[in-house]
Amino acid sequence: NKIEITILSIFPEMFNIITNYGIIKKAIESGIVKINVLNLRDFTVDKHKVTDRPGYGGNNGMVMLVEPFFRFYDEYIKKNNFKPYVVLPSPEGRTYNNQIAFDLSKKEKLVFFCGRYEGIDERIKAIVDEEISIGDYVLTGGELPTMVMIEVLLRFVPGVVGSKESVENDSFYNGLLDFSHYTKPAEFRGMKVPEILLSGDHKKIEQFRKKDSILKTILKRPDLFINKELSLEDKKLLVE
C-alpha cells in the first residue's frame, strides 16, 4: 500500500462509516490504503480493561490513561521497526486544512489517537508528532475529527480519487473555490444552464469556469482571495 493508517479508539466500530463506503472502501479493496482500527481496550492489562480515570486535581471529568497508548506505541515500533507519524486530534492543535492534509498524505504510516471525556493525560504528548484541530469547537471524541482528517488526506493519495483533475479543481487546491457545476436538464423551472457549457468549446468553457471560480472566491471568501496571486491571463478574464 501507499499509506497505512492505524487508529486507536474505544469505539472502533464508528470507523465503519468511512471504511465501508465509496472511494475509501474501493481504495482499501484495491490495496492502495490500509486502515487498521484497533480497540484501545486491547492494550490494557487489567481485568476490567479500564481506559479512563477521574482526573487529578478534582472537579474535572474523566481523563484517558496514557498507559494503553504507550503500550500500543511500543508494540507498534517493535513489530514494524518503524516510527509512525502520530496525530492527536485536539482542539488545541493547528486548524486542519488542505496543506496539512497534503503533507500527511505523503507519510508512509500514520497513527491517530482518539481521546474522549476530558481528553488524554497530558503526558501523551511525549509520543505525539502533531496535534490537529478540525475547528474552533469541541466534539465529544477524536473519532469524527480523525475520520474527517483521513477522508481529506486520502483524496491526495494517488489512485484514491479516480480523476486527478477533479481533486485539483476542487475548492482550496489552488487557493480558489471550485467553479459551479450543472447537469441535465439544460433548463429546469426556467433556470438555464449557462449556454457556454453546452457549446463544446473547451477553451471557452475553461475560461468561463476560471472566471466563475475567481468571482465566487472574491464574493464568498475574500480572505482566501487576498492571498492569491492571479496570472496576467486570469486578470484579463476578469475585465472581459
Binding residues for S-adenosyl-L-methionine are 115, 134-139
Q: Which is nearer to ligand SAM, 9 or 213 (CB)?
A: 9
Output the smallest distance, CB 101 to ligand SAM, in A: 14
Provide the binding-site residues for ligand SAM, judged by CB under 6 A.
89-92, 114-116, 118-119, 133-135, 137-142, 145
Residue closest to ligand SAM when measured from CB atoms: 115
Output the smallest distance, CB 154 to ligand SAM, in A: 18
d(CA 215, CA 219): 6
Output the smallest distance, CB 147 to ligand SAM, in A: 11
- Segment (H or E) for 213: helix 202-220
Task: Cite the active site residues.
Answer: 91, 118, 155, 170
Q: Which is nearer to ligand SAM, 28 or 88 (CB)?
A: 88
- Using alpha carbons, list the distances in angstroms from residue 172 to 102, 114, 233: 12, 27, 20
Q: Please state the residue numbers annotated as binding site.
A: 115, 134-139
Alpha carbons within 13 angstroms on the beta-carbon side of residue 234 total 13
Q: Which is nearer to ligand SAM, 30 or 60 (CB)?
A: 60
Q: Which is nearer to ligand SAM, 52 or 156 (CB)?
A: 52
| Phi-psi label, residue 47: left if phi above 0, alpha if psi -120 to 50, beta otherwise | alpha
Compute the radius of gyration of the chain from its Cα atoms. Answer: 22
Nearest to 33 by CA among 181, 156, 207: 156
Output the smallest distance, CB 9 to ligand SAM, in A: 10
- Using alpha carbons, list the distances in angstroms from residue 188 to 115, 184, 192, 208, 239: 48, 9, 7, 21, 30
Output the smallest distance, CB 20 to ligand SAM, in A: 23
Q: Which is nearer to ligand SAM, 138 or 226 (CB)?
A: 138
- Using alpha carbons, list the distances in angstroms from residue 67 to 70, 103, 207: 5, 29, 57
Q: CB neighbours (10 Å) of residue 142?
A: 26
